[in-house]
A and B are shown apart, each in its own frame.
Chain A
Amino acid sequence: MALKLKAESRNYRLPQTLEVIRGNIVKYGNPLGLKGNEIAVWARDLNLPRQGDVLLYTGGEYQLVPYIDSLVNMLTRMNQGSVGFSLMMGVRNLIDMVGINPEKIVAGVGSRDRERYRDVNRKAALVLEEMGLKICYLGEEEIYSGALLYEYGFVGDLRQHARKVTELIKSTGARTIICLSPHSAEIFKLIYPRLVDNFHYEVKTFLETVYDLVKDVSGRLPTGFSGNVTVHDSCRMARELGITEEIRDILSKIEGVTLIEPELNRRWTTCCGGPGKVLFPELSGKIAARRVGELAATNADLVITFCPYCLAALDKGQREGQKNIQIEDFIEFLYRGIVK
């Protein structure tokens, strides 16, 4: 039963799924080739300026998450008779099906999910404005940071892509970038400075931004929720960026909320399985279910997380495992109390 993985030749073509994602980022600015108006539709009525000191950067990531799930579902279903099969099966058709023409994945996205994930961006913008921060936004021109290019090893492509992203950011005149996804924050903070010249921006996650705005505020923050919450630290946040205490401080300032820590928290947090979703969807789902189990063991009412991939992975794990705990993004959680 020993695994024999010896290749017979030096035929090193990569799994097509990776090439498809790469091609889309390079050509269309995001991993699935979604159109700019799909990414920016959430901001339609907000009249956010294109230029300013502080740039709100979504990277299209919350918007994209339901489409990625749709793609993964579709490809897993495609392998009929062998659920256990990888996405590599049937890749011949992948480009025709989804590569540069994502209508089919779009059709597979439930409107509720699409609305929810789009709305995270709107809520983030409204929370920041409510807290008195003036933000600008690139709108339909915004493109993805390219974190997946780095993740999958396409560093040469990332170098090219990063130049485009940098030009766009430069054109806003901003000095500070607020990233909704920790993956964008990580890549801007740790990787871009190695790839492009003069990338000197203050890069902050949404969580840090809120923390800076409220840390010296005496008195309590309003909330639309009362009960027990637990926190799922994202790997990137806790381990790469070292951001663990901010969320705890913020929660301690919120009325009616009790934090129950999961056994594995902060730097010991467990991965949500998200990074494996595209190549190993089954394993990814099982890892998510386990993490949901660890979080549900706190008996809290609500899990708060702060990464689009964690949100999607845990939410799916919660639904499939029918665990009696809700999963919310920190942005959604905050919006309820602060804006409404």
Chain B
Amino acid sequence: MSSVLERLFQKYTAELNKASDDPNIQLALSRAVKSYRDNTEAALKRFPHTPKLAEEVRAIKETAIERMDELVTQARQAIEANHGKTYLAKSREDALKLAEDIIGTGKIVVKGKSILGEELEIRDYLIEKGNEVWETDLGEFILQLRHERPMHIVSPSIHVPREKVAELFTEFFGREIPPDIAAEVGAVREFMREKYFSAHFGMSGANVVAADCGAMVIMENEGNARICTAVPPVHIALVGIEKVAPTFQEAMKVAEVTWRYANYTVPGYVNIISGPSKTGDIEKVTTYGAHGPRELHVILVDNGRSEMAANPLFRQGLYCLRCGGCMYECPVFQLTAGHFGYRYLGGIGAIWTAFVAGGMDNAAPLIYTCLRCGRCVERCPVSIDVPSMIAELRRRIVELAHKAG
């Protein structure tokens, strides 16, 4: 009888091969790789200080992860002082329970893009608890309707061409939506507007958190995160504990390097949120919930990150800014997109999957897919040594396998 690991490999390999034969994926990816490289080159040329800044960010991340627990405590104190509520979730289950306790059931939730959200599978969880949850990022919304998972962390629906989107929207909206990108975007805009204003909760992630003042930086282009975090009466932010940076200034450096290597000169919106909406305009009495949310809840999630931080080799995995640059350079990813992944994608995703998204059960096939060719390291703004970590994880898998007999 073949073992579980063997069967996983079979199924997974079949998926990879299928993806590499899919003309939609191939066309979309070859375009995406080219435009990523061109845009990044242009952005780096226009802002030539970026590689130097990236070195600085590497040093900032090294310090921040070294002091992670202390900075998380400091960030919580700062946010609480700003009148936000904070929580520390040890595990996925804790995080989901915390969100459920805040949201309850029968509510409408509008959600911005969050990779941590994918890790926690929070959308499905909240729907299961009787809520209506909408992904507001266009790519994520498409995937929600297709019941698929993201194929890239920055451009999740990278594999779906406009014709497929038109078919999907025509069925969902119950009226003819032509395969015209502007019309498709317009249909979602109209639909989502109503949701934003009827939602009880807005949910988002954060790219970086300044521990000194509690400011969370959320970068985006569509403006959906801006509305999600400003219009509903309550904002819930899900933040991985590795996102802390010591100071506001350093957080901005991290943010700039992240977007630059995500191929943007500057994103359309950089949101900075440090507490709920407030006003003191009448008699200098501070009152919460002026125009924006009256409540801010920040759920900081560990779920395996402390274990990564404690290991001198794997600690560097937490330096990942999630710019997505490495994926465009990965020869396997270029053929298979997010099929080479589980919640987290590509080579660095194999490492993250092992620690925070189901352990070796989910990560083993990914760990053996990486070519260890090292091209990702060349692109990575903080030079994360993925091949060395993959080698060590293989050693651990062999150890597990031999222990199991």
Q: A residues near B, CB below 8 A? A: 1-3, 5-16, 82-86, 88-89, 91-92, 150-156, 235, 239-240, 267-271, 273, 275-276, 279-280, 282-283, 286-287, 290
Q: At the interface, yes or no: B289 with Cβ under 8 Å from chain A?
A: no
Q: At the interface, yes or no: B253 with Cβ under 8 Å from chain A?
A: no
B294 to chain A, nearest CB (A): 36
Residue from B342, B373, B394 in contact with A275 in the complex, judged by beta carbons closer than 8 Å: B373
| Known A2-B147, A85-B14, A239-B374: A7·B397 in contact at CB below 8 Å | no
Contact residues on B (Cβ < 8 Å of other chain), bracket: 35 or more
Residue from B331, B378, B397 in contact with A14 in the complex, judged by beta carbons closer than 8 Å: B397
> Interface readout for B254-270 with A: 1 if CB under 8 Å, 0 if not?
00000000000000000
Cα of A282 to Cα of B19 in the assembled complex, Å: 11
CB-CB contacts below 8 Å: B336-362 with A: 336, 339, 342, 358, 360-362
Name which residue of chain B comes closest to A155, CB basis: B395
Residue from A5, A8, A11 in contact with B342 in the complex, judged by beta carbons closer than 8 Å: A5
| Known A5-B12, A88-B10, A275-B373: A153·B395 in contact at CB below 8 Å | yes
| Known A16-B6, A275-B372: A3·B15 in contact at CB below 8 Å | yes
Residues of A within 8 A of B368 (CB): 15, 152, 279
Q: At the interface, yes or no: B21 with Cβ under 8 Å from chain A?
A: yes
Residues of A within 8 A of B377 (CB): 239
Residues of A within 8 A of B371 (CB): 235, 271, 273, 275-276, 287
CB-CB contacts below 8 Å: B387-402 with A: 391, 393-401
Question: A8 to B398, Cβ gap below 8 A?
Answer: no
B143 to chain A, nearest CB (A): 10
Name which residue of chain B comes closest to A276, CB basis: B371
Q: Is the interface of B mostly helix, strand, loop or mixed?
A: helix
Cα of A151 to Cα of B371 in the assembled complex, Å: 10
> Interface readout for B279-306 with A: 1 if CB under 8 Å, 0 if not?
0000000000000000000000000000
Name which residue of chain B comes closest to A150, CB basis: B391
9 new A-B contacts, CB < 8 A, other than A12-B401, A287-B335, are A1-B147, A14-B397, A240-B374, A270-B373, A271-B371, A275-B372, A275-B373, A276-B332, A282-B20
Q: Is the interface of A mostly helix, strand, loop or mixed?
A: loop
Q: How many A-B pairs with Cβ below 8 Å?
A: 159
Cα of A180 to Cα of B221 in the assembled complex, Å: 51
Question: B17 to A282, Cβ gap below 8 A?
Answer: yes
Q: At the interface, yes or no: B27 with Cβ under 8 Å from chain A?
A: no
Question: B375 to A270, Cβ gap below 8 A?
Answer: yes
Cα of A1 to Cα of B335 in the assembled complex, Å: 18
Most buried by B among A1, A7, A16, A151: A7
Cα of A50 to Cα of B43 in the assembled complex, Å: 58
29 A-B pairs with C-beta separation under 8 A: A5-B8, A5-B11, A5-B12, A5-B342, A7-B4, A7-B5, A7-B8, A10-B400, A10-B404, A11-B3, A11-B5, A11-B404, A12-B360, A13-B4, A13-B5, A13-B404, A14-B398, A14-B401, A84-B14, A86-B14, A153-B395, A153-B397, A239-B374, A271-B331, A271-B371, A271-B373, A275-B373, A287-B331, A290-B334
Q: At the interface, yes or no: B16 with Cβ under 8 Å from chain A?
A: yes
Cα of A164 to Cα of B3 in the assembled complex, Å: 32
Question: B362 to A5, Cβ gap below 8 A?
Answer: yes
Cα of A152 to Cα of B394 in the assembled complex, Å: 6
Residue from A6, A84, A89 in contact with B17 in the complex, judged by beta carbons closer than 8 Å: A84
Residues of B within 8 A of A91 (CB): 2, 6
| Known A10-B404, A283-B17: A235·B6 in contact at CB below 8 Å | no
Cα of A89 to Cα of B17 in the assembled complex, Å: 14
Question: B398 to A155, Cβ gap below 8 A?
Answer: yes
Cα of A9 to Cα of B5 in the assembled complex, Å: 10
Q: B residues near A, CB below 8 A? A: 2-18, 20-21, 146-149, 331-332, 334-336, 339, 342, 358, 360-362, 364-365, 368-369, 371-375, 377-378, 391, 393-401, 403-404
Cα of A12 to Cα of B7 in the assembled complex, Å: 11
B363 to chain A, nearest CB (A): 9
Cα of A5 to Cα of B17 in the assembled complex, Å: 16
Question: A86 to B401, Cβ gap below 8 A?
Answer: no
B311 to chain A, nearest CB (A): 16
Name which residue of chain A comes closest to B339, CB basis: A3
Residues of A within 8 A of B12 (CB): 3, 5
Name which residue of chain B comes closest to A264, CB basis: B375
Cα of A269 to Cα of B15 in the assembled complex, Å: 27
Cα of A11 to Cα of B364 in the assembled complex, Å: 12
Residues of A within 8 A of B149 (CB): 1-3
B183 to chain A, nearest CB (A): 26
| Known A85-B14, A283-B16: A9·B4 in contact at CB below 8 Å | yes
Name which residue of chain A comes closest to B16, CB basis: A283
Residue from B2, B332, B358, B373 in contact with A235 in the complex, judged by beta carbons closer than 8 Å: B373
| Known A1-B147, A3-B12, A283-B332: A12·B374 in contact at CB below 8 Å | no
| Known A2-B149, A275-B373: A283·B365 in contact at CB below 8 Å | no
Question: A153 to B9, Cβ gap below 8 A?
Answer: no
Question: A5 to B147, Cβ gap below 8 A?
Answer: no
Residues of A within 8 A of B395 (CB): 153-155
| Known A86-B14, A91-B2, A287-B335: A15·B9 in contact at CB below 8 Å | yes
Question: A154 to B398, Cβ gap below 8 A?
Answer: yes
Question: A153 to B5, Cβ gap below 8 A?
Answer: no
B132 to chain A, nearest CB (A): 21
B34 to chain A, nearest CB (A): 11
Cα of A92 to Cα of B401 in the assembled complex, Å: 18
Question: B342 to A85, Cβ gap below 8 A?
Answer: no
Cα of A270 to Cα of B333 in the assembled complex, Å: 13
Residues of B within 8 A of A271 (CB): 331, 371, 373, 375
Name which residue of chain A comes closest to B7, CB basis: A88
Residues of A within 8 A of B331 (CB): 270-271, 273, 287, 290
Question: B374 to A8, Cβ gap below 8 A?
Answer: no
| Known A150-B391, A283-B332: A11·B398 in contact at CB below 8 Å | no
Question: B342 to A3, Cβ gap below 8 A?
Answer: yes
A80 to chain B, nearest CB (A): 15
Question: A286 to B335, Cβ gap below 8 A?
Answer: yes
Question: Closest 10 interchain pairs by CB?
Answer: A153-B394, A86-B13, A13-B3, A271-B373, A84-B17, A153-B398, A7-B361, A239-B374, A12-B401, A12-B404
Residues of B within 8 A of A235 (CB): 371-375
A295 to chain B, nearest CB (A): 14
